[in-house]
Amino acid sequence: MSCSEFKAGHPSASAPARAHRASCPECSLFAQSWELLREYPSIEPGIGFFRAVRRKLAPRILRFAAGLSAAAAALLVALVLWHTPAAKPDLVTDEERELVENLDLLQNYDLLKTVELVGEYGSSLVEEKK
């Protein structure tokens, strides 16, 4: 067994691992250091540890987010301006202008057409006049 295999498979209770540890002083020190670390009591984070970490990271995150937001806004404005069609002038024909100028005549014409339709279908009003 090589030293790299021993370190990759540590801790291992296999016979080749025990034999390598006994024959290699470097791997023996490696295993002893891990055993000393295992005996050390675990450290629990304090009450405000995670809050303090978030507070310290927040300015960095905000700086990153602010730059990203500004780039996204600039891209959005560029896309809107690029895809907005150019305004076309409203072209009014002579017929449309004449209709608007003589709107009261057009309304009377509509009323006249309605009366003519009633007369065609035999309205009682038309029959009385005869």
Q: Kindly report, residue by residue over 91-103, the tens digit of the pLDDT.
A: 778 888 887 787 7
Q: What is the pLDDT of residues 108-124, one digit of tens each?
A: 776 766 665 555 555 55
Which tokens hold the place of 85?
A: 């069609």
Which tokens hold the place of 117?
A: 């339709």
> By the 8 A CB rule, do 17 and 9 touch?
yes
What whole-number distance in Å separates Cα of residue 96 and Cα of residue 112?
A: 21
- Looking at residue 111, the DSSP 8-state letter turns out to be H
Q: How confident is the model at residue 73 (pLDDT cuts 50, 70, 90)?
A: very high
Q: How confident is the model at residue 74 (pLDDT cuts 50, 70, 90)?
A: very high
> By the 8 A CB rule, do 90 and 98 touch?
no
Residue-level length of the chain: 130
How confident is the model at residue 130, as a pLDDT? 47
How large is the C-alpha radius of gyration of the chain?
Answer: 46
